[in-house]
Amino acid sequence: MTNETKYDFRDGNGPVSAHRHSKGGGWVADTAYVDLTAYVGPDACVYGNAKVGNTASVYDNASVYDNASVFGNAKVFGNASVFGSVIIDGLAEVFDYACVFGNAKVGNIAQIYSRTRVCGNAVVTTSVLNANRIDGYTFSIFDEADGTTRITAGCRFFTIPEAIEHWTTTRGDTKLGLESISIIKHLEYAHSLKDRI
């Protein structure tokens, strides 16, 4: 008989060795690392090979997993998910239903929220701009590490010209098509002002 504690993170691996974090009581897989100074709230999960360090916080129903790292005073909360080889640091916040994955890096004072998806090799150091279409579909704009400006919407991941072409081709002159193109152009303009502030 063993005293080993197990928890099912619902990632398809079944129950794995895990423990409750001493600061907050959230579940942490024994394969993950969380500093004693970090906070993992009672309903949050850290698993896989994820790392949470310094005074970072993961709480509410948020999940940090795979090889993701959350450091500094960063916060992941709400129903947000952070996974892949992502790095969240500084005073960055990822919350609501936002999802950050791939090799993305979010730092400085960036806020990723709503249903924003940040992925690929994106590097976000300021808040991502979002806009919602009348049907609730969320559009977001940000720059990748190489300086390419991207639009994400649902599972779509486009440059601005690709996004305009996509919604022109798929929606044409419909109300949703025209609104989508208007939102993309608005986000592009607002994004162009970020360096003037």
At 152-184, the pLDDT tens digits run 887 788 999 999 999 999 998 999 999 999 999
- The DSSP string of 29-85 is ETTSEE-TTSEE-TT-EE-TT-EE-TT-EE-TT-EE-TT-EE-TT-EE-TT-EE-SS
| CATH code, domain with 3 | 2.160.10.10
Q: Give kind and range of the element (H or E) at residue 166.
A: helix 160-171
The per-residue pLDDT for range 45-85, each reduced to its tens digit, is 999 999 999 999 999 999 999 999 999 999 999 999 999 99
Indicate whether 95 and 141 sit together in one domain: no
Least Cα distance to 62 among 54, 52, 53 occurs for: 52
Indicate whether 107 and 139 sit together in one domain: no
Q: Rounded distance, CA 54 to CA 34, Å?
A: 9
Strand 27-29 and strand 129-132: the pairing is: unpaired
Quote the Cα angle for 99-105-109, to 5°: 90
The per-residue pLDDT for range 94-152, each reduced to its tens digit, is 998 888 988 888 888 888 887 787 877 777 877 778 888 999 888 988 887 677 888 98
Q: pTM (2 decimals)?
A: 0.78
Q: Is the pLDDT of residue 1 over 50?
A: no
Indicate whether 109 and 144 sit together in one domain: no
Quote the Cα angle for 125-50-24, to 5°: 90
Indicate whether 145 and 180 sit together in one domain: yes
Least Cα distance to 183 among 142, 146, 127, 140 occurs for: 140
* Domain enclosing residue 101, as ranges: 1-127
Which residue, 78, 99, 127, sits at the end of a domain? Answer: 127
Extract the tokens encoding 180.
């989508």
Region 21-44 average pLDDT: 97
Indicate whether 50 and 97 sit together in one domain: yes
Indicate whether 57 and 19 sit together in one domain: yes
Indicate whether 5 and 54 sit together in one domain: yes
